Amino acid sequence: MELIAQSISVYDPSNKKEWIRQMRKIEHAYRICYGHTSEEKMTDDSYLTFIPKYIKHGSPLEHTQVTVLLDCSRAIQQELTRHRLASYSIESTRWIDYFKKQGGQVQFIQPADWDKMDPLQRDLYFEAMKSSEDWYNKLREAGLPSQRARDAFALGLKSKIMMSANVREWRHVFELRALNKSAHPDIRQLTQMILMRLADEAPPLFADLLEVEDD
């Protein structure tokens, strides 16, 4: 049994050139909304200052989709999929046979507040996840198929998820999860990781949210 940290990677847009193309498309959409339709008013980098002026007007942000790959717990996946204006592909615990594929070695997510737990709490948490792994393997050894043995898994089980949503929905997710101090520690950590990455790659679309977080 292994506890691992959550992780994220941006799948699409995959490079700076594509981000710029998408942001120029959003700028054009904003110009249409506000009557600034002339292509002559757009320059190679006018999106840098134009988008932030109108970022609160959300509809132009719906023209660009962002796809992110995540390693997180099954519990956090359940919270993510409550955001219905998005698309998801989730690693199956029914068809993956951890007993055969991974030799019974199962990964679980280390809680974001791990360092805030006392030694006893950490030991008990580790043992709970280890017990989950042990019972899964015992059920498989007894002949139960993986789709039934998976019932023994704890919600801390590490699993992959691909999430796609437009920029407007991602901003909504960040407002509810990354910037909300009452959000679950794990989903807050995960969405903050995504927000930091997107703000670095596309500042006009996301950097203002970091200012909200600082406040």
Per-residue pLDDT at 38: 67
101 pLDDT band, cuts 50/70/90, is confident
Question: 146: helix, coil or strand?
Answer: helix
pLDDT in tens, 37-75: 666 788 999 999 999 999 998 999 999 999 999 999 999
pLDDT in tens, 72-86: 999 999 999 999 999
Q: Tell me: pLDDT of 122 over 60.
A: yes
Per-residue pLDDT at 39: 67
Peptide bond preceding 13 in cis form (omega within 30 of 0): yes
Maximum pairwise Cα distance, the chain: 71
Give the distance, in angstroms, between the CA of residue 21 and the centroid of all CA atoms in the same chain: 23
Residue 122 · residue 16 · CB < 8 Å = no
Kindly report which listed range (25-29, 165-169, 211-215) carries the lowest average pLDDT score. Answer: 211-215
215 pLDDT band, cuts 50/70/90, is very low
Euclidean distance between CA atoms 67 and 88, whole angstroms: 10
pLDDT in tens, 123-134: 999 999 999 999
How large is the C-alpha radius of gyration of the chain?
A: 21
Buried-exposed string 172-186: b where 16+ CB fall within 10 A, e elsewhere: bbbebbbbeeebbeb
119 pLDDT band, cuts 50/70/90, is very high
Residue-averaged pLDDT of the chain: 94
214 pLDDT band, cuts 50/70/90, is very low
Residue 29 · residue 60 · CB < 8 Å = yes
pTM for the predicted model, two decimal places: 0.93
Residue 165 · residue 173 · CB < 8 Å = yes
Query: Which residues make Cβ contacts (< 8 Å) with residue 105, sequence separation at least 6?
Result: 1, 2, 98, 133
CATH number for the domain whose boundaries are 1-13+65-215: 3.30.1360.170
Kindly report which listed range (41-45, 104-108, 211-215) carries the lowest average pLDDT score. Answer: 211-215
Per-residue pLDDT at 37: 60
Nearest to 112 by CA among 199, 211, 191: 191
Q: Tell me: pLDDT of 213 over 70.
A: no
